[in-house]
Amino acid sequence: MSREPWIDFPLGYYICPSCEIVDRDKDRTLVGHKCSRCGTPSSGGIAYFDRTVCTITDFITELYPMPDLDSPSSIGSFPHPSESHRLAILIFFCTLGETLQQHFLEHCVSRSNFSPKIQASLLQDILHPLEHIEQPFQTLTGATWQQAVKAASKHANNDFILTLYFFKIAVKKRNQLLRLGNKLAVTPGMAKQCITNMAPLINLFVELHNVYLMKPL
Taking only the tens of pLDDT, the chain with its 217 residues reads 445 556 678 889 999 999 999 999 999 999 999 999 999 999 987 899 988 898 898 888 888 765 555 554 544 555 566 678 888 899 999 999 989 988 898 888 888 887 888 777 777 766 655 556 777 788 888 898 889 999 999 988 888 999 999 998 999 889 888 887 777 777 878 888 998 899 999 999 999 999 999 999 9
In a domain, 200, yes or no: yes
Q: Which domain holds residue 203?
A: 4-212
In a domain, 217, yes or no: no
Q: How many domains does the chain have?
A: 1
34-37, long-range: CB within 8 Å, 24+ apart, which pairs?
A: 37/217
Q: What is the DSSP letter of 22?
A: E
